[in-house]
Structure 1
Amino acid sequence: MNRKRKKITLSGIIGGLLCLLFIPVIVINLVLIINSYINPEELPGVLGIKPAIVLSGSMEPAIQTGDLVFIHKTETEKLRVGDVICYLDSGAAVTHRIIAVTDGEDGLPRYITKGDANDAEDHLSVAADQIQGIWKGGRISGLGNALLFMQTTTGMLLFIVLPLLLFFIWDIGIRYHSDKKEAVSRAELEAELSALKAEKENGKTAEQ
């Protein structure tokens, strides 16, 4: 019984850990997908934080190619020279540093940006409505590359489908062995009861 309880407990712990891992990921992905459909002109985010994958080395060494950076929602009026912002350029997310703030022809501020590793400033100035937020230093090295791989068919099979399949197979095996042992224990108990009953009846017969 103790071994059975240990295995069931282990199964429950692993199942709980997988739920803790996958449920938040699924919920966050759903929120990001819904936000991307509701606001196609903006990077999807959760609670004012937008993840962005860095695809170039224009901000090295502060930000490396393949990093996942976290962009925080901000009021554009508060942006200053030296801030690192993320903006959309023809649908692509660019994370560069503000080197100057000027007034556009419409009288609204325009932001001149440049990658730390680039020799020249960006060709076009950035309007306030292009800005997705400010980078405050939060990043996870290399995670962007991993996420890009996970979006491929091979990545989804290796990191999502296969682990879930292995867990279900393992769980089914644990349940099968537990049920089999329980059936054996029940059969042994029934055999013991039958033996005791037969012994009792034999005793009564001997007394007579």
Structure 2
Amino acid sequence: MIKKTISVVVATLLGLILIGNVYELVQRKTGQTAFPMFLGVGKAIVVSGSMAPAIQVNDIVIVHQVPQATYKKGDIVTYKSPSYPVTHRIQSIDGDTVITKGDANDGADQPIKTSDIYGKVVLTIPKLGYLLRWLQEPLGLVVLAAGLIAIWEGDKWLTASREKDKK
């Protein structure tokens, strides 16, 4: 029973990762957004040390879309920049203008509008970026899909084997 539960949990997690990666891939390849958010939640792999020590390179940040009026000084947010999404801390807010700064940076960023903010960072997962980068590659997606099939078929095979032994 415990093995069955573990198989279901692992398969569900792998399935969600696969669906999320495929959704993200389609969104980016079709040019719909640089920061895909599924049901108001997105993820980013940190690529610079600008937020150290709070957030390190290859950490994953989970970003949740919140109403613009709820942002406050000290929140860590991910926002739209000309080249790629940036995750920095809010230093000040004046109306709909926001000043952010990376914790490890000397100076503040250029002002942005609250409408440029994708969302607030609600969770940081250390070092998971290494794995997710690989899973976003074509080979990683194939391995992920094969892993799901192996878990699904292996569970069926084990269950059938047990049923046969009982008879």
TM-score range normalised by the length of the shorter chain: 0.7 to 0.9
Amino acid in structure 2 at the alignment position of 1:52:
A
Task: Describe the shift of the 1:170–1:92 C-alpha distance in structure 2 as closer, same or farther (beyond 3 A).
Answer: same
SS in 2 for 1:40: coil
- In the other structure, the counterpart of 2:40 is 48
RMSD: 3.6
Q: Which has the larger radius of gyration?
A: 1
Is the CA contact 1:42–1:132 (under 8 Å) kept in the aligned structure 2? no
Residue 109 of structure 2 is aligned to residue 117 of structure 1: no
- In the other structure, the counterpart of 1:131 is 117
Is the CA contact 1:48–1:72 (under 8 Å) kept in the aligned structure 2? yes
Structure 1 length-normalised TM: 0.60
- In the other structure, the counterpart of 2:21 is 29
The answer to which structure has the higher helix fraction is 1
Query: How far did residue 99 of structure 1 move?
Result: 1.1
1:57 to 49, 65, 76: 49
Structure 1 unaligned runs (5+)? 1-8, 103-107, 182-208
- In the other structure, the counterpart of 2:73 is 81
Structure 2 unaligned runs (5+)? none
Larger relative CO (CA 8 A, sep 6+): 1 or 2? 2
- State the distance in 2 between where 1:79 and 1:14 align: 39
Residue 138 of structure 2 is aligned to residue 146 of structure 1: no
- State the distance in 2 between where 1:16 and 1:77 align: 40
SS in 1 for 2:77: strand
Query: How far did residue 50 of structure 1 move?
Result: 1.2
- State the distance in 2 between where 1:162 and 1:83 align: 39
SS in 2 for 1:44: coil
Amino acid in structure 2 at the alignment position of 1:92:
Y
- Residues 98-122 of structure 1: CA deviation (Å, up to 9, x unaligned): 11223xxxxx621111100111111
